Amino acid sequence: MMKLQSCLILLLAAGLFTLSGCEPKTTPAAASAALSAPTIPVGQITLGPVSTFEQACARCHGPQGSFYGEAFAKLSDTQLHEFIKEMMEGPAGLHPTEEDIAAMTAYHQALAAKKPYLVVMDYVKENGYRLSGQASLQSNLIIQTAANKVQTTPDSNGNWSVQLQSPPRGILVQKDEAQTFVDFRKP
């Protein structure tokens, strides 16, 4: 099995995000958009942000962050990152990597913006292409390839996985009336 280093996609905030060169390769790609989406090499996240939040954080902060107040959404990116790091290491009792903290920060930004969240945590080329990751609970994913569209939904822990015959061209994540799209073909 050949595991390919690809892009970890963290989609959040409003608008259309594009990811540069997300064909499988050995280095992470740079993201570009009106607001930047962080990218991290696959395999460096040890704690899935959606499932980790629901298991370790929701007891105090509510399912999918439903107990957050307006002050939460007003934190700067740096303040939010530091707050999440403190909460993950402190009350949650976790041992997060910097990548775990970045992924959780992106998830919180998506919660605050009321936008669907997506992270591709695994991209493997073997008998086609297998992608897996986590997405907002109760969301719908549509993965576009050259040949067709594949739909999937995350399970109750936010996990999703698809097997494709050709590389993905884009992923649309929809939740309620909000949606986020990543185009794998954009330079």
**Extents of the domains making up the chain:** 2-44+115-183, 49-113
- Taking 3-state DSSP, the helix, strand and coil percentages for the chain, each rounded to the nearest 5, stand at 25, 30, 45
- From 1, 187, 3, 17, select the one nearest 118 (Cα to Cα): 17
pLDDT in the model for residue 182: 81
The whole-number average pLDDT for the span 67-87 is 87
Q: How many CB atoms lie within 10 A of CB 145?
A: 18
Helices 77-89 and 98-113: crossing angle in degrees, nearest 10, is 120
CB 12 within 8 A of CB 34: no
Give 5's DSSP letter.
P
pLDDT in the model for residue 122: 85
pLDDT in tens, 132-147: 999 999 999 999 998 8
Cα-based distances in Å from 154 to 37, 118, 139, 150: 21, 10, 7, 13
- pLDDT at 51 exceeding the cut of 50: yes
- pLDDT at 42 exceeding the cut of 80: no
The whole-number average pLDDT for the span 57-66 is 88
- pLDDT at 77 exceeding the cut of 80: yes
The whole-number average pLDDT for the span 71-96 is 91
Q: Hey, which of 5-14, 71-80, 145-154 has the most confident mean pLDDT?
A: 145-154
**pTM exceeds cut of 0.95:** no
CATH of domain 2-44+115-183: 2.60.40.10
pLDDT in tens, 95-134: 999 999 999 999 988 988 889 999 888 888 888 899 999 9
pLDDT in the model for residue 24: 37
pLDDT in tens, 20-30: 233 333 222 22
- pLDDT at 183 exceeding the cut of 90: no
